[in-house]
Amino acid sequence: MAIPLSSREPKDEMMWAYSKYGNYLVRSAYLLGKGANLDEFHEAWVDIWKMEVIPKVKHFLWRLCTATLPLKTRLRARHLVEEASCPWCGQAEETMFHLFFECVKSRTLWVDCECGAMRCADSSNTLCDIMKSWRKIEGKVKQRGVYLMWALWADRNAKVFEGKTTPNTILVDRVYRWAEEYNRYAARIYAKKAVNGARCNKFWKAPAAGVIKINSDASLAVEGMVEIAEAKSLVFALEMASRFEVNKVIAETDSLTVVNRVSRGVIHLTKLDSILGDALEQSTCFSHVHWSHVGRQSNTVAHNLAKHTPFGSQQVWVNHSPPEVSSYVLMDMLTMNE
Ligand SMILES: [Zn+2]
């Protein structure tokens, strides 16, 4: 099926995160070949995706887990650089353990960011081991610890490539600010609870004044990938709504999977999640988004329109509707006066 997947076109190196059978498995097979414990990677993957940080930082952690972050010691092992000393202290080699946990630069920052319990003291631990020990750490503390690692990596890069160093006090402020920004964003986007109206709503229900309800649905001539098509139709509906510059939105679909996934805001590694990622991104242009699930009988306009519109063709009707669905539109309009 030629459904274009993600409209964001993630970079090549990001693709593993969004494809069910893509690079993640290729990578896993590679790691397996090296004798790595796949279960461990899978667990690390789950831990990372539960973390309350932006995707870029999750990706960074995953690179640390899979030993693909370009630390100097790794580059030297591949004969890409000759020296591998720590850019901050010059007293030790730049390993994951030294850079993030042992160096005089990073050591005190764990305490300053009030996540000292996360600091690893054993140089033989991999990040997978370290993350296991983090499971008992409270979410917000863990969030700061992870943002601290990200801040350290950014500062390390600034030092290596531009010779710049940022004072620790500023790094601490940065960590707290990032955590706060993420939490504000998450509260706005992810905390919208799904409403299951399937059992009670026999008819489509008009939204409150000032709120626009967008109903979406997909119809496939052949079985399979229904949820992907449903998710694509949701993204299209959100795009349409943003084009009309509406503010408060109820996004309604009869796909329970889509609503459940998108309202939790957890993005895993399937094709479906790639599209739901688009939906979440698209939803940031509204001041308020409410994800709503309804039964098919309450989504009749979208459902019948989907049946009558060939896939891939884009048609927009404004202030009138195609005859195939006009009776359903009329039914919905009647509920507006109730
Ligand atoms: Zn150092």
Distance 81 CA to ligand 1 centre (A): 18
| 294 and 313 inside one domain | yes
Express each pLDDT in 77-119 by its tens digit.
888 889 999 999 999 999 999 999 999 999 999 999 999 999 9
User: Residue 217: inside a domain, yes or no?
Assistant: yes
Could you say which of 189, 212, 240 is where a domain stops? 189
Residues 177 and 42 in one domain: yes
- Round the CA-based radius of gyration of the chain to a whole number and report it: 24
Each residue of 212-227: pLDDT tens digit? 899 988 887 666 678 8
The total domain count for the chain is 2
Residue 164 Cα to ligand 1 midpoint, Å, equals 15
208 and 185: one domain?
A: no
Q: Give me ligand 1 centre to Cα 222, in Å.
A: 59
- The residues, any chain, with a CB within 8 Å of residue 70's CB and separated by 6 or more, are none
What's the pLDDT at 112? 95
Residue 185 shares a structural domain with residue 261: no
Distance, CA 88 to ligand 1 centroid (Å)? 5
Query: Rounded to 5 degrees, what are φ and ψ at 227?
Result: -65, -35
Distance CA 212, CA 197 (A): 17
Q: Name the residue with higher pLDDT: 36 or 229.
A: 229
Distance 64 CA to ligand 1 centre (A): 18
pLDDT at 196: 40
Is 8 contained in some domain? no
Q: What is the CA(189)–ligand 1 centre distance, in A?
A: 39
Does 174 lie in the same domain as 31?
yes
Give the domain-ending residue among 145, 173, 189. 189
Q: What distance in angstroms lies between residue 208's CA and the mean position of ligand 1's atoms?
A: 59
Which pLDDT belongs to residue 14?
A: 37
* Ligand 1 centroid to residue 100 C-alpha, Å: 9
CA 87 to ligand 1 centroid distance, Å:
7
Task: Indicate if the pLDDT at residue 163 is higher than 50.
Answer: yes
Clarify whether residues 133 and 274 are in a common domain. Answer: no
For ligand 1, the distance from its centroid to the CA atom of residue 262, given in whole angstroms, is 42
109 CA from centroid of ligand 1 (Å): 13
Statement to judge: residues 73 and 216 lie in one domain = no
pLDDT at 119: 94
Compute, in angstroms, the gap from residue 65 CA to the centroid of ligand 1: 20
Cα of 106 vs centre of ligand 1, distance in Å, is 8
CATH number at residue 253: 3.30.420
Q: Measure 227 CA to ligand 1 centroid, in angstroms.
A: 49
290/269 Cα distance (integer angstroms): 24
Per-residue pLDDT of 281-299, as tens digits, reads 788 778 888 888 888 778 8
302 and 226 co-located in one domain: yes
pLDDT for 7-34, tens place per residue? 444 433 333 333 333 344 444 444 444 5
| Same structural domain, 38 and 152 | yes
Q: Which of 189, 221, 244 is the last residue of a domain?
A: 189
In a domain, residue 6? The reply is no
Structural domain of 244: 195-335
d(CA 27, CA 33): 10
Ligand 1 centroid to residue 135 C-alpha, Å: 27
272 lies in the same domain as 311? yes
User: Does any domain span residue 151?
Assistant: yes
> What's the gap in Å between 184 CA and the centre of ligand 1?
34
- Examine the domain organization and report whether 140 and 203 are in the same domain: no
How many A from CA of 37 to the centre of ligand 1? Answer: 30
User: Which amino acid is it at 279?
Assistant: A
Please name which of 266, 233, 271 lies closest in space to residue 252, comparing C-alpha atoms: 233
- What pLDDT sits at residue 37? 59
Same domain, 20 and 147: yes
Q: Which pLDDT value is given to residue 327?
A: 75
